[in-house]
Amino acid sequence: MEQATDTSIRSIKAEILCVGTELLLGDIVNTNAAFIARELARIGVNVYHQSVVGDNPGRLKEALSAALERCDLVVTTGGLGPTYDDLTKETVAQLFGLPMERNEESLSSIQAFFDKVGRPMTENNKKQALLPKGAYPLQNRNGTAPGVIVRQQDTGKMVVMLPGPPREMQPMFTQQVTPYLLKLTHSTLVSRTIHIFGMGESQVEATLRPLMEASRNPTVAPYAKEGEVQLRVTAGAATQEQARALIDPVVKRICDTLGDVVYGVDVGTLQGAVVQAYAAKGIKLATAESCTGGLVSKRITEIAGSSAVFDCGVCSYANEIKHKVLGVQQETLERYGAVSEQTALEMARGVRKLAGAQVGVSTTGIAGPGGGSAEKPVGLVYVAADWGEGSQVLQLHLSRNYPDERELIRHLAASHALHLALRAADHF
Write out the binding residues for a copy of itself, residues 100-119 only, by CB under 8 A.
Answer: 116-117
Residue 364's nearest CA partner among 327, 405, 394 is 394
Q: Is 369 in the site for a copy of itself (CB under 8 A)?
A: yes
Q: Judged by CB, which is closer to a copy of itself: 13, or 335?
A: 13
Q: Is 27 in the site for a copy of itself (CB under 8 A)?
A: yes
What residues from 268 to 287 belong to the interface with a copy of itself (CB under 8 A)? 287
**Binding-site member from 198, 294, 327, 337 for a copy of itself (CB under 8 A):** 294
**Stretch of residues binding a copy of itself (CB under 8 A), selected from 27-35, 154-162, 237-245, 420-428:** 27-35
For 90, counting Cβ atoms within 10 Å of its Cβ (0-12 exposed, 13-18 middle, 19+ buried), the class is: middle
What residues from 166 to 205 belong to the interface with a copy of itself (CB under 8 A)? 167, 171
What does 243-259 look like in DSSP terms, one character per residue?
Answer: HHHHHHHHHHHHHHHHG
Q: Is 292 in the site for a copy of itself (CB under 8 A)?
A: yes
As a three-state string, the secondary structure of 63-112 is: HHHHHHHHCCEEEEECCCCCCCCCCHHHHHHHHHCCCEEECHHHHHHHHH
Q: Find out whether 279 and 304 touch, Cβ atoms under 8 Å.
A: no
What residues from 318 to 347 belong to the interface with a copy of itself (CB under 8 A)? 318, 320-321, 324-325
Question: Measured between alpha carbons, how far is 166 from 390 in angstroms, rounded to an integer?
Answer: 46
User: Smallest distance, Å, CB 59 to a copy of itself?
Assistant: 7
Residue 209 to residues 195, 203, 214, 220, 420, Cα–Cα distance (Å): 17, 10, 8, 10, 28
What residues from 132 to 171 belong to the interface with a copy of itself (CB under 8 A)? 141-142, 167, 171
Question: Measured between alpha carbons, how far is 357 from 283 in angstroms, rounded to an integer?
Answer: 7
For residue 132, what are the β-bridge partners?
100
Beta-carbon contacts of 196 under 8 Å, excluding residues fewer than 6 positions away, are 204, 228, 229, 230, 231, 258, 261, 262, 263
Q: Judged by CB, which is closer to a copy of itself: 131, or 412?
A: 412
What residues from 199 to 238 belong to the interface with a copy of itself (CB under 8 A)? 223
User: Smallest distance, Å, CB 198 to a copy of itself?
Assistant: 21
H/E element holding 352?
Answer: helix 341-355
**Binding-site member from 307, 330, 373, 395 for a copy of itself (CB under 8 A):** 307
Q: Find out whether 363 and 289 touch, Cβ atoms under 8 Å.
A: yes
Q: Judged by CB, which is closer to a copy of itself: 225, or 390?
A: 225
**Stretch of residues binding a copy of itself (CB under 8 A), selected from 33-41, 98-106, 175-183, 250-258:** 33-41
Q: Judged by CB, which is closer to a copy of itself: 116, or 389?
A: 116
**Binding-site member from 44, 81, 360, 368 for a copy of itself (CB under 8 A):** 368
Q: Judged by CB, which is closer to a copy of itself: 62, or 241?
A: 62
Q: Is 38 in the site for a copy of itself (CB under 8 A)?
A: yes
